[in-house]
């Protein structure tokens, strides 16, 4: 495992195709969070600072970070397709790696990417928490502590799907087109033909539902209400509509990860390199 990771790290350490999107991902995420703290929504009864108070803060950071998971998916596709265009998968087999090791190397790399995303979310949440919380809201930090872990599952799920697409198509541009074509057009269109109790099991639906928008955000867009008493939020909005309980959604997402990885392994095992 260590050897496979070392090999993957040598590949990315001087690769601009990795660092440019990775830095873009991190900077944009932090910038969006920072800008979010500066926005003051002028809706009576809504304290926009509540987005950055526990327990809603975990929801805010993971939801925002989830949008940037698509960049992680693109990076994963670049890394897999590069191996085909440089014929280095083939060379690694010649030099002594097994096809299973090729597969494991990429899975480990995706695991590391998801873990770095997880750390970034946790760090930014803790730092924002220090600025926007007080002795009353800090104790709520553990209420939704599961959310960064769910974010990790989501990041890994997007990358697993991306890897499967890349292994099938082998070309970076076409893989990215296929990924977004499925994510933005194909699945949403197909979902329209299915009833609610079935469409919620579609892969992109399941994965994107892992990090729902913050409750307060939903409240404000639904023009429903939160009242304030002496400046404190009393959230009488309905609970987040997860469509499926989050634990159930997470389990199905893990199932999809297993499916994507199994298909990827099967393709790599049998494909002419």
Beta carbons within 8 Å of 34's beta carbon, 6+ residues apart: none
Could you tell me which stretch among 22-30, 51-59, 89-97, 238-246 binds another protein (CB under 8 A)? 89-97
Nearer to another protein, 101 or 243 (CB): 101
> What contacts 24+ positions apart, CB below 8 Å, involve 97-104?
99/268, 99/269, 100/265, 100/269, 101/4, 102/268, 103/264, 103/265, 103/268, 103/269, 104/1, 104/4
CA angle 199, 248, 154 (to 5 degrees): 80
Q: What are phi and psi of 180, to 5 degrees?
A: -75, -30
Binds another protein by CB under 8 A, chosen from 20, 67, 98, 123: 98
Q: What are phi and psi of 232, to 5 degrees?
A: -95, 140
Nearer to another protein, 108 or 140 (CB): 108
Question: Is residue 87 close enough to count as binding another protein by CB under 8 A?
Answer: yes
Could you tell me which stretch among 88-96, 185-193, 199-207, 253-261 binds another protein (CB under 8 A)? 88-96
Query: Are 32 and 64 in contact, with CB atoms under 8 Å apart?
Result: yes
Q: Give the residue among 134, 119, 141 at the shortest CA–CA distance from 49.
A: 134
Site string for another protein, 4-43 (x = CB under 8 A): --xx--xx--xxxx--------------------------
Could you tell me which stretch among 96-104, 156-164, 174-182, 185-193 binds another protein (CB under 8 A)? 96-104
Binds another protein by CB under 8 A, chosen from 82, 144, 171, 235: 82
Binds another protein by CB under 8 A, chosen from 48, 70, 90, 187: 90
Question: Is residue 267 close enough to count as binding another protein by CB under 8 A?
Answer: no
Nearer to another protein, 94 or 123 (CB): 94
Range list of H helices, the chain:
2-13, 16-38, 56-85, 88-95, 99-132, 146-169, 172-180, 187-191, 196-199, 203-208, 215-221, 246-270
Could you tell me which stretch among 87-95, 127-135, 161-169, 176-184 binds another protein (CB under 8 A)? 87-95
Question: Is residue 123 close enough to count as binding another protein by CB under 8 A?
Answer: no
Counting residues that bind another protein (by CB under 8 A) gives 24
- Report the interface residues with another protein, using CB under 8 A: 3, 6-7, 10-11, 14-17, 82, 86-88, 90-98, 272-273
């Amino acid at each position: 495992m260590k050897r496979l990771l070392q090999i993957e790290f040598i590949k990315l350490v001087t690769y601009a195709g990795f660092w440019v999107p990775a830095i873009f991902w991190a900077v944009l995420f932090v910038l969006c969070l920072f800008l979010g703290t500066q926005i003051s929504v002028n809706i009576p009864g809504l304290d926009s600072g509540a987005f950055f108070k526990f327990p809603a803060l975990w929801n805010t950071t993971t939801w925002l970070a989830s949008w940037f998971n698509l960049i992680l998916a693109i990076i994963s596709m670049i890394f897999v397709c590069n191996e085909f265009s440089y014929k280095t998968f083939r060379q690694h087999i010649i030099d002594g790696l097994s096809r299973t090791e090729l597969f494991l190397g990429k899975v480990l790399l995706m695991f590391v990417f998801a873990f770095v995303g997880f750390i970034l979310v946790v760090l930014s949440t803790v730092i924002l928490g220090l600025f926007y919380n007080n002795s009353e809201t800090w104790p709520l930090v553990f209420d939704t502590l599961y959310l960064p872990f769910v974010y990790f599952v989501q990041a890994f799920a997007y990358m697993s799907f991306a890897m499967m697409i890349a292994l099938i198509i082998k070309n970076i541009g076409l893989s990215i087109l296929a990924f977004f074509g499925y994510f933005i057009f194909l699945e949403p269109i197909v979902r329209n033909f299915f009833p609610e109790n079935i469409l919620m099991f579609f892969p992109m639906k399941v994965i994107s539902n892992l990090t729902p928008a913050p409750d307060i955000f939903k409240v404000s867009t639904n023009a429903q209400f939160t009242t304030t008493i002496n400046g404190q939020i009393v959230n009488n909005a309905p609970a987040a509509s997860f469509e499926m309980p989050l634990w159930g959604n997470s389990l199905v997402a893990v199932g999809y990860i297993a499916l994507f990885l199994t298909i990827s392994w099967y393709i790599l095992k049998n494909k002419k390199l």
